[in-house]
Amino acid sequence: MRGKFKISGILLFVVLMIASSCSDFVDINNDPNNPTEPTLALLLPATQMSLAGYFNAVNTGGSAVMQHFASGNLNRWNQSGSTFSTAWSGFYTATLPDLETIIREGTAQQAWGYVAIAKLQKAYLYSIMVDLWGDVPYSQAVGEFTDPALDKGATIYASLFELIDQALADMEKGFTVAAGSDVFYQGSKLGWQRMANSLKLKMLIQTRLVDPAKATAGIKALLTGDVPLITDNAHDFVFQYGTNVTPNARHPWYTSWYSSGRGGYVSMPLVNKLKDSDDPRLRYYVFRQNANVGLANSMNGEGFYGREPGDGTASPADANTRALIGIYPAAGLYDNGTIKSLTASHIYLNNTGAVSTTTSNSFKIPLSTSGDGTGAGILPLITSSMVNFMRAEAALALGTGEDAAQLVADAVAGHLNRVSTLAGANKGTVMPASTITGFTERIKTQFTGASEAGKMDILMTQKWIALFGNGIESYNDYRRTGLPKLSDLVSPLDVFPMRFYYSETELTSNELLIADREAIQRAQQTTPVFWDK
């Protein structure tokens, strides 16, 4: 595949690590086309870091569309051929070719653990690419094809189910993977089995509208077949960032938002939803630099200075006053300042233990080594909370027989615990057990008393809140269900994007596409993905 791509500062640590692995590759092999087994242990973590790095490039767009953020072009539904060119090129010139190398050479060496992991990463990545772009190069994506054809998304999905089954079968041939070479599960066979089956579940629920019979049968088989799923936070398929500065291994949101340029604006619909719902996660999601600032940089508010969706006005001099992403998921700062408008009705989002001094709502640039967060956040790809929400959706929409109310409660409790654990590990305040229990029971009671439509609304709204940090899955959910209800945009520049734009480099260099590139690109904005009926 043709194409060049730029390296952003956010992805520097990925590139440096990949470069280091490539250097080792050359040093220890005379014939790079016939690598030895130790090379797989070097190449695998490089694929995992590049997958996470380039995922972030599309994740930011999904977060803007889904009003987790209120900045960026996608916040106004506007995109171009350069919006996702880095991710597109990175997936196709780095991540996927390296995965194919592991599959090919691992098969030759009968290193089935590495082969299985590479196949699962490939399946996960292609499923995300279909979700975002629809039809993408698949059968001709890697190799000598300079002008790869776009395979149909439905065809790719069918192939990915087979690929997952192949990976599970490969594991049974033998599974030996060096713990240090596996960023996600440290060489755990059971961990990858859980991920594989949970990925199947995700893809089945994604396609339930176009093939409800297959989705129902497949999900029931997973639930009754005694196969391991991600059912606990310890099982989660997440990328764990570190604290290293050079090369930068910190969460990209942390390095962006806690720099002098800032990363954008927090979403007022998200802030208002959390506050109005008495949701304790507000203090973990949003950090207020100034407890008195309001919208438009006024000094007549309580610190939640963000923006409404679609607000494209120029930014004032507000780098030291706008609210920032908090301690979850980026390991920024926990907001322990007083929120003046909270009342006695706020039981779980309250001012217990809060301080009134301004130092609790400020930090220093450049970042100090203490008190300013760590950056050791997470990228949640498939979590137990997501799995429980998906199972609850299947119970409601497909009649799979599980207790949807309990699954929603488990999903909410699991996410609250995930937030609390991350905070406790990164200089934040852990969430009281009574808060987790009480808030969860409240959601369960609301869910139980709701109508069928109301149950789905509560489920998808709670999932939207819990998906802060993974805008892609929230974008998928919204296109499939129309939930949660998003706020109207202040000043949209286009219609709601049904798919992401292709890289302009692909459209202008691929001879199969160049003649129709304008029509192809415009269709991305208006044409649903195959599973969005």
What does each of the 533 residues of the chain score in pLDDT, given as a tens digit? Answer: 543 333 333 333 443 343 333 333 333 344 544 544 449 999 999 999 999 999 999 999 999 999 999 999 999 999 999 999 999 999 999 999 999 999 999 999 999 999 999 999 999 999 999 999 999 999 999 888 999 999 999 999 999 999 999 999 999 999 999 999 999 999 999 999 999 999 999 999 999 999 999 999 999 999 999 899 999 999 999 999 999 998 999 999 999 999 888 889 999 999 999 999 999 999 999 999 999 999 888 988 999 999 999 999 998 999 989 999 999 999 999 999 999 999 999 999 999 999 987 677 776 655 554 457 899 999 999 999 999 999 999 999 999 999 999 999 999 999 999 999 999 999 899 999 999 999 999 999 999 999 999 999 999 999 999 999 999 999 999 999 999 999 999 999 999 999 999 999 999 999 999 999 999 999 999 999 999 98
Interatomic CA distance for residues 85 and 502, integer angstroms: 7
pTM exceeds 0.85 for this model: yes
Residue 80 CA: distances (Å) to CA of 47, 67, 304, 314, 507 = 27, 19, 31, 20, 12
The enclosing domain of 503 has a CATH number of: 1.25.40.390
In a domain, 6, yes or no: no
In a domain, 341, yes or no: no
- Asked if residues 496 and 476 have their Cβ atoms less than 8 Å apart, the reply is no
In a domain, 135, yes or no: yes
Interatomic CA distance for residues 394 and 345, integer angstroms: 34
Long-range CB contact pairs, 183-192, < 8 A, 24+: 183/45, 183/48, 183/49, 183/239, 183/240, 184/48, 184/237, 184/238, 184/239, 187/113, 189/113, 190/228, 191/235, 192/116, 192/117, 192/120, 192/167
Q: 58, 384, 391, 402: which is closest to 208 by C-alpha? A: 391
In a domain, 155, yes or no: yes
**Residue range(s) defining the domain that contains residue 99:** 12-179+494-526
| DSSP secondary structure, 352-363, as one string | TT-B-SGGGG--
In a domain, 167, yes or no: yes
What tokens appear for 439 in the block? 């808030």
In a domain, 110, yes or no: yes
The number of domains in the chain is 1
Strands 324-325 and 286-287: antiparallel
Rounded to the nearest angstrom, the gap between the alpha carbon of residue 395 and the centroid of all alpha carbons in its chain is 24
In a domain, 45, yes or no: yes
- Asked if residues 62 and 468 have their Cβ atoms less than 8 Å apart, the reply is no
In a domain, 433, yes or no: no
